[in-house]
Structure 1
Amino acid sequence: MDGTRCSWCGTDPLYVAYHDTDWGRPERDPRALWEKLILDGFQAGLSWITILRKRENFRRAFNGFHPEEIALWGEADVQRLLGDAGIIRHRGKIEGTIASARAYLEIEAEQGFSPFLWSFVGGAPAQTLRASMAEVPTETAESRAMAKALKARGFKFCGPTITYAFMQAVGMVNDHMVHCPAHAECAAMA
């Protein structure tokens, strides 16, 4: 990638690859959206690079993040995950993932999880023209509305800051800096 990347990814090869190929690209697959929302919830109180380094462990431990399966899990599964050193071992976040899987299934059956989430940005990625990280908010009216709606449906660990980070990551908001080559790439995907 030529040009100046967004400064948040630094020089860590894993973070740079995530920036260059994943972050900000519009995602519409409901299972992938659910996985990302869950991982953003696990990030609460931690840095994203911590989660990114453990992402494959999470995928293994949560059997590919299939909500249909996870919705059926119980205490034995919680105990198994609490014993897994490859993930973040937080009982509340693990139990929240199971509750969120059940909520996902209800939303998916009613209207589709992807259309539900994308409705908070009118179905299309919001395009921003930010020149510095100082211009990026930590939450917006849209992320507050999404967080409120998700919590009302039974989701856990999805406050407005988490939902805004999620919206950025899945391309609902193009928050790549205007000088970053990925900004134009993501805008073209919209």
Structure 2
Amino acid sequence: MKGRNQLINEAMITCKSKSVSKSEGDDVIDGSFNCEESIKIEIEKTGDKTFLSQIVKLVKEAQESKSKTQNLANKAAFLLTIVAITAGALAMFVWLVFTGQSFNFALARTVTVMVIACPHALGLAVPLVVAVSKALSAKSGLLIRNRNAFEQARNIQAIIFDTTRTLTKGEFGVTETFSFDDSYGNTIIGTLMM
């Protein structure tokens, strides 16, 4: 940044609604906006080196990562595919050798067995659930970096947000509290808010 001190809001990146004072020589994160007069900034990073690009990179890495459940489903689908192919080959063998049916008849039965035995639903279900849950999370402003951590989130007993006493609202103060477990009563929550 060049020039006199300015208040810069970095909430888009930091989620902290309190503006930060920046003076000459300070870095201004891309995605920030100026709260005061016009300023001059010198761009030092472009393209893949910007802060916002690093966030995009993290999102892509999160999308490419696979959870333990998805890996297990893929292994099970692979094994079930081998079973389906084996069952199809066995059906072909039985229809050709033991019944003396034509090849076309045996092939039709083989394809039928393979279609019924194929684990395509298992191979599609887990990625579909992951994609839908990530889309719903993104709509709510939640970035999932680690799918394993996302799966383990079901075991969370308590969550407390308070980095700057701005519970993602952009205003100072607590707007609402909610406890999933009655053992975390209003007394405990009230104490944590002070």
Give the TM-score normalised by structure 1. Answer: 0.23
Q: Give the structure with the higher percent helix.
A: 1
Structure of larger gyration radius: 2
Structure with bigger RCO (C-alpha 8 Å, 6+ apart): 1
Give the TM-score normalised by structure 2. Answer: 0.22
